[in-house]
Every structure is written in structure tokens, then in C-alpha cells.
Amino acid sequence: MRRAVNDLLGAYDKLIMDPVHGGIPLYRHEIQVIDHPLFQRLRNICQNDILSLVFPGATHSRFLHSIGVMHVGTRMFRSMIDAYLRERQLSEQTELSLNQLDAIDYLAKIIRLGCLLHDSGHSSFSHQFTQARKIRELMSRPERFRELWRGEDYSRYHPKEPEELEHEHYSVRVAHEVLSSVDLDAAGLHAEDIIGIMETTQVTPSDTFCRHAHTFLAFIAGDQTLAASNGGQEVPEMVMGLLSSIVSGEIDADRADYMLRDGFHSSVTIGGFNLDHLLSNLRFGWDVSEPWMGLAITHKGLGALEDFVYSRYQMYRKVYGHKTALGFDWLLREAINEVLEDPESFEWIDTCLSDMSFFAELTDSFFWEAFRKVARRQPKSYSFLIVNRVKLKHLDTRENLSKAEVQNHSNWLAGELGLATDDVVTCTMKARFSNIQDNFNGIKVLEKAPITRKRSLKKITDVSAFFSKFEDGTIIHFYRQPDVAATTPDLTQ
């Protein structure tokens, strides 16, 4: 029975060798997605903006990360299916029907493509791009969303226009563009089901998805339990919620891959977690009285989950929030603003952000060349500092200061060092971990009675005190303002 599940997707068409996960199989329709120019652009977008200026090995791309997320998402889903079948065989000998095999196959393919495309809307330098002041102004223009979807029906995915665009909105737009060029019919898939498990979307799933969702829940929870769910009207929404949590949740394929990948390429192993152990203890959880369907973890798997959370917590504090790394992030944002002072560059970025025909041009390479142009003409520029790896002079680090306290400490540092107030700049990283307790309560702990083997689900914080230990933390680094020119030269000279 498990052999049939493992063979569901058929023989693969290509194998990609990944330094983190080893061989990752790809299927024909997935190769078509990967070969699309809008996906190929991810080869030229670094996963960790310019973290390689601090950790030289961290040059890995969004391209390989996205394929890795697809691989981990597949492993998560199949691991839960395999565990369910293994436990079910202990009490009854049964075979999967063709309808059940078809449902599992369809959902597995949906997860793979949702994971593959989840980051496809990231622009140059990933998160730092959208945090640059001039980029935020461009993306906040009221007509931007309509321009982006000109000639296409966005109501399939977004019931209303978002007030402000984020990279997730661009991922949906890219996914729509890419999937429209792929022969999904041959794979038996529907674009709305794939995009529906990505962030920011709200879709009406296809009839195919609804049919498979009912089959899947009946297979997992049983017909009698399903009948209690108000006729099963909520079933497709419940199953889509489960798939979404694999793509983007507290224990998701995205976090699992980037933590392993970032740690591997930066040669930093802080905390660490065992992905195999974590996946082997994931289970399907459901409660038709809410109704709810999502991820559950066995009691013996809590240790692996705690390692996962602690590793993420430490990576944010020790790697992503490193004083030199945040200093370069600040310089990067200022250099991006500097490049956009040039009218020609501004117009080009504006066009790329509003037209899918040109969006593939938004890569790190474009900005690196623009930085070099500025640096050649103006040594006293942010671009010069980035190109030549001239880091900010670090003055101090504090944690959890209020806005007023940050300003007071800046003034004090300036006074002590004989600087003008404006000569002290700050970089802040907010490690949002206070929501771990609430969000992880959405992941239940699966327990079974010793004799009856009856399943019960408990809140994770009722079983483990570990998740109550985390609070939001704000790391503030103080630096000396670099000596740059007040104006930026005309790049068209």
C-alpha cells in the first residue's frame, strides 16, 4: 500500500542535485515551470540579500531554495500519509482505492507547485528591496496593482485590491503568468488550486479539488466523522488550509529549507534540528466540530519541534541580526535609493514593477551594475561602500528599547563621541516570537490512549512549557553615519 503511494507521481523526468537535500526529482510540468524566464530569474536573486559580505558562503539563490522547499513540502505530506497508513495497518488490513490514490496524488502535486512558486515574486536582494524607501513609494502607488494585472482577471485570487503590495502579491502574479504557459491539463491540475494555497489569496477551488478533498478527508477521518461536519460543506476549505500550512505556517517547508540551507551555506550551526526526526513525527490533525484540519505532532516528536523553533530563534539573533550584516543591509537600502535618483533607472524599475513582460529583468545583477556605475563616478557614495565592502563603523548594540529610548541613546553616543546627532544611525531587527505560543497552538499534539488507542488533540502549550518562553525581541545596532556626498551624480553622463 505504501509502495503505491510512493509511486503516485510516476517516473521523474529530471534529477537536480542539491547540496542540502541531495537528488531532487522533477516531473514534466514542473520542468516547464522551472524553465520559464520568470522562474529562471530566481537564479540571479540571492536568498539572503548581501549576507555573503559577512558569511562568504551565503551566495545561494532563491532558485535553489524554491526547489528545496518543493522537496521538503513533498516529504512532509508523504511522511504524514506514510505514518497514517503504517498506523492503520496495525489495526486493519485495507487497500487504498483508486479514488483515494487519485486524491493523494492530486494534493501532492498541488503542494509541490505551491511550494515551488511561493517565492517567485521576490525582487532584487529579496526582502531588502521592498524595504528601501523609494521602492516602497513605487509599490504603494494606488494604481500599481491594477497595472500589474492589466488584461488579467485577478478576482480569481484576490476578492479585493490590497492596500499595499508585498512580494507575496507579486508571487501570485508570477505564478498566474507561469502556470498560464504550462500544460496543466496534461498534468490534470488547475491553477486556482495551486495559487489558492499561496499567501494573500482567497480562491474558489475547482470541482476536481473539491472532489478529491472529500475523498481525502473521508480517508483520513472516516465517513462517520465526516458526516458530522455539517454535510461536508467546509471540507475543501479545511483541506486547503492543511495544504497552505505546509507551504506557509509555523512548521512549513519554507522555514525548514531556509534554516537548513542558510546554516549550511553560511557554515553556521546554531541550535540545529533534525528534519528527518521532525517529519517522522508529523501527523494529520482534524476536528470537525470547529471545523479544523491541520498539522499535528506526536508527543515524542515535541523535542524535534522544540529544536526547530530554537534553531530559528538563534538564526535570527546570531546570523540575520548580526551587527555587520544589518549594517550592510542599511547601506544596501540607501544604495538602492541612490540608484533610483537617476531618472532612467527610476523609470525602468517602475516599468518592471508594473509589467510582467519586464519583471524578469529585476535581479541582483541589475543593481550591482548600477552600483558600480555610481561608484565609478562618485567614490563618496553608498554604492561605493557596497561595491568595495566598506562596512559601517559599529558603535553599540542594545535590545528592546522604545523609540524614545533609541533616540536618547543615539544622542548620548553622539555626545560621548563628539558627533552631530545625525551622525549616528540605527538598524533594527524585530524578532517576532511572542506569537509562537498562539500560532503553535494551531498545531496540535496528538496523543493516544494506552489501551483503546483513541486519538486526542491537545494545545501544544498545554503539553510543553517550552513555547511559552519566547517573547518579541528587538535588536538595535548603532553605527556612525558614513561620509557620503549629499547628491548623486547623473548616471547618464
Task: Determine the Cα–Cα distance for residues 48 and 320; give it in Å rounded to an integer.
Answer: 9
Looking at the predicted structure, is the pLDDT value of residue 470 above 80? no
The percent of residues above 70 in pLDDT, for the chain, comes to 88
* Cβ atoms of 300 and 274 closer than 8 Å: no
Per mean pLDDT, which of 61-75, 128-142, 289-303, 429-443 is the most reliable?
A: 61-75
**Cis status of the peptide bond prior to 482, with omega within 30 of 0:** no
Q: Which residue, among 465, 475, 398, 396, has the nearest Cα to 437 in the 3D structure?
A: 465
From the centroid of its chain, how far is CA 348?
Answer: 27
204, three cell numbers: 474558489
Higher pLDDT, 108 or 474: 108
Confidence (pLDDT) at 493 = 40
Check residue 488 and give its pLDDT.
45
The residue type at 297: I
pLDDT for the residue 169 = 96
Q: Could you identify the residue written with the cell 557614495?
A: 381
Q: Going by DSSP bridges, is the β-strand pair 14-18/292-298 parallel, antiparallel, or unpaired? A: unpaired
* Mean pLDDT (whole number) for 158-182: 94
Backbone dihedral region for residue 177 (phi beyond 0: left; psi -120 to 50: alpha; all else: beta): alpha
How far from the centroid of its chain's Cα atoms is residue 456's Cα? Answer: 31
Residues 291 and 178: their CA atoms lie apart, in Å, by: 34
| Pairwise pLDDT comparison (222 vs 118), residue with the higher score | 118
pLDDT of 386: 97
Q: Could you identify the residue written with the cell 525548514? A: 256
Task: Tell me the pLDDT band of 190, cut-offs 50, 70 and 90.
Answer: very high
What is the DSSP secondary-structure string of 408-467? HHHHHHHHHHT--GGGEEEEEEEE--TTHHHHHTTSEEEEE-TTT--EEEE-HHHH-SGG
Residue 342: CB atoms within 10 Å: 18
* Residue 414 pLDDT grade (very low, low, confident, very high; cuts 50, 70, 90): very high
pLDDT at residue number 278: 94
pLDDT digits (tens, 9 = 90+) for 352-400: 999 999 999 999 999 999 999 999 999 999 999 999 999 999 999 999 8
Q: Provide the pLDDT for residue 306.
A: 87
Bridge pairing between strands 292-298 and 444-448: parallel
pLDDT average, residue stretch 21-32: 95
> Average pLDDT, stretch 68-84?
95
Q: What is the structure's pLDDT at 330?
A: 96
pLDDT the model gives residue 89: 63
Give per-residue pLDDT as tens, 237-274: 999 999 999 998 878 999 999 999 998 998 876 667 89
pLDDT of 90 reads 52
pLDDT at position 91: 52
Q: How far apart are CA 181 and CA 438, in angstroms?
A: 40
Among the residue ranges 127-136, 137-146, 450-459, the one predicted with the least confidence is: 450-459
pLDDT for residue 10: 62
